[in-house]
Chains A and B, each alone.
Chain A
Amino acid sequence: MTRSELEAILTRELHRIAPDIGMADVDRDGDLREEFDIDSMDFLTLVAALSKETGAEMPESDYGQMGSVNAMLDYLEG
C-alpha cells in the first residue's frame, strides 16, 4: 500500500474513534494518544482496525513505534 492509501485508512479509523478531532488539527509528530485524546481501549481498537485493513500483525511489542501519526505511517509502510 502507498503512504497516501495508508494515510486515508488511518484518517478514517481515527475519525471513527475521535470524530471531534481532525487530522488537520493535530501535530503529526505529537503523541498520538494525546493529540486525539484516546485511551488504551481506543488505541487497541485503532490497532485492531488497522491490522485488519492492512494485514499488518502489529504486535504489542511494536506499540512504541506507533507513537505519532507519522510514526504510525512509517511503521505501516514497513
Chain B
Amino acid sequence: MGVFRMPSLGSDMEAGTLTEWLVKPGDAVKRGDIIAVIETQKGAIEIEVFEDGVVEELQAVPGTTVPVGTPLAVIRGEGEAEAAPEPAASAAAVAEAPPAPSEARPAASAEIRPPDPQSLVTATRIRISPAARRLAERLGIDAARLAGSGPGGAIVLADVEKAQPAAPAPDGMSGMRAAIAAAMVRSKREIPHYYLAHTVDIGAAEDFVARANKDRGPADRLLLAALFVKAVALAVGKYPEFNGFFDDGAFTPAPSVHAGMAINLRGGGLVAPAIHDAQGLSLDAVMAAMRDLVTRVRAGRFRQRELSDPTITISSLGERGVDLLAGVIYPPQVAILGFGTPAERPWVRDGKVVAARTVTLTLSADHRVSDGHRGALFLNRIGRLLLEPETL
C-alpha cells in the first residue's frame, strides 16, 4: 500500500495546489504514469506516480492547497488486498472555504504555510476558473480572498482583474518571482561561488550545424545550443564534481547528466527543466528534447521530474548581445554553465589576427565541492569538444 503525497519540486517549494486528477479510483497505474496536475509557483506541473498498482482512493479534492508531504491518494500495490486507507486527508472536505464576501482585497502574495505532512488542516478549496487562477497566481493575488461572480460563486477572470492592485504592493512579488528569489537568496547565502570564463572558436561548430541543416526542413533543423548541451554533458563524464547535488553538508555526484536548460518566460521569470540523460543522446535527440521542453514550458506544462532533478544547469543568453554571463547556481546543484552571444570577434589563428566566430563560456561552480583548477580543465574540455563537433 503506498501513499501518494504532494511532492517537493525543489528546495524552495513548500506547498502546491492540486489542479486535477488524471486517474480515478479503480484505475491501474504504472510507475511513471502521470496521474495528477498540480499548480505551484512555477506553473502547472504534471506529477508521476512512483509505483505500480491500483488507485484505491483519491484523498485530496482538486483546488486544494496543501503542504509538501501531505497524502493525496492511496495506491494499492499489485496483489494487495483492499484495505482501509490511511485516515489522513479527511480534512479536505471540511475546508471548503467560501470566498470572502467582503470587498475584493488583493493579498500581498499567495499564502504558504509550513510543511506539515501529518495534517491537512490548511486545505482550502476555491472555485476558480483556470484562467483566473493563472492570472491570480501571476499577480500574486490570494484567490481565497476574492468574491466570485461566476456560476455558483466561482471566481472568473473579471474578478481577478478587478482585484488587481493599482500600484504594486510593497512585497507584492508574483509566485514565480518569489520562487526565484527564494532559490537565488539561498544560493548566494550558502554557496561559495567561483567563476571562470573561456572563449572558444565556434567556426567549426557553426559550419557543422549549417551542413547538417542544409538539406533538412525547418522542423528537423539543429540549433547551436544543442551542441552546447551535448558538449557539457560529455565533458561532465571526466569531471563528475560539477554534476550532482550538495545536500546536508555532503556532495553526491549524479550517475547521469540531467541538463537543466534555462528557459525564459514571456512576461518575466524563468524555469530550468531537465533534458534527461543528455550524455547518451544524439544531437538530434538533444534538439528534439529542447524543442519539446520549450514548447511545453511556453504552454505552462512540464513534468515534475524535469523541474526537480537537473544535475547541472546550462544558460544561454545567445543573441541578446551579452559577451558573458556569470550564472547563479540553482541549489542543491553545484555548477551552472553560461554561454554568451556567438559573434564575430578578433582572434589569433596561426599567428595572425583574423575575424572569427567565438563564444565565451563561463562556469560558476561551488567551491565547497571543486576548485578552480578542475573548473578550468572542465571548461577547456567543453571548448575542445566544440572544436570537434563531429565527436558530439
**Is the pairing of A and B real?**
yes
- B-contacting residues of A (Cβ < 8 Å)? 17-20, 33, 37, 39-42, 44-45, 47-48, 51-52, 57-61
Closest to B291 in A: A41
Say how far B295's CB is from chain A's closest CB, in angstroms.
Answer: 8
Interface contacts (Cβ under 8 Å), in number, total 45
Q: Is the CB of B266 within 8 A of A37?
A: yes
Instruction: Give chain A residues whose Cβ lies under 8 Å from the Cβ of B219.
Output: 48, 51-52
B105 at the interface (CB under 8 A from A): no
> Assuming the A-B contacts A33-B319, A60-B210, are A44 and B225 also in contact, with contact meaning beta carbons closer than 8 angstroms in the complex?
no
B318 at the interface (CB under 8 A from A): yes
Instruction: Give chain A residues whose Cβ lies under 8 Å from the Cβ of B298.
Output: 17
> Assuming the A-B contacts A19-B266, A37-B266, A40-B223, are A48 and B318 also in contact, with contact meaning beta carbons closer than 8 angstroms in the complex?
no
CA distance A60 to B350 in the complex (A): 30
A-B contacts besides A37-B266, A60-B210, 5 pairs, CB < 8 Å? A40-B319, A41-B223, A58-B218, A60-B221, A61-B214
Closest to B316 in A: A39
- A-contacting residues of B (Cβ < 8 Å)? 210, 213-214, 217-219, 221, 223-225, 264, 266-267, 290-291, 294-295, 298, 318-319
Say how far A3's CB is from chain B's closest CB, in angstroms.
Answer: 22
Instruction: Give chain B residues whose Cβ lies under 8 Å from the Cβ of A51.
Output: 217-219
Closest to B295 in A: A45
Say how far B314's CB is from chain A's closest CB, in angstroms.
Answer: 13
CA distance A42 to B266 in the complex (A): 12
Say how far B69's CB is from chain A's closest CB, in angstroms.
Answer: 36
CA distance A65 to B121 in the complex (A): 61
Instruction: Give chain B residues whose Cβ lies under 8 Å from the Cβ of A60.
Output: 210, 213-214, 221
Instruction: Give chain A residues whose Cβ lies under 8 Å from the Cβ of B291.
Output: 41, 45
Residue among B214, B219, B264, B291 with most chain A CB within 10 A: B219
CA distance A42 to B295 in the complex (A): 9
> Assuming the A-B contacts A19-B266, A37-B266, A60-B213, are A44 and B318 also in contact, with contact meaning beta carbons closer than 8 angstroms in the complex?
no
> Assuming the A-B contacts A39-B318, A40-B319, A57-B217, are A20 and B223 also in contact, with contact meaning beta carbons closer than 8 angstroms in the complex?
no
Say how far B290's CB is from chain A's closest CB, in angstroms.
Answer: 7
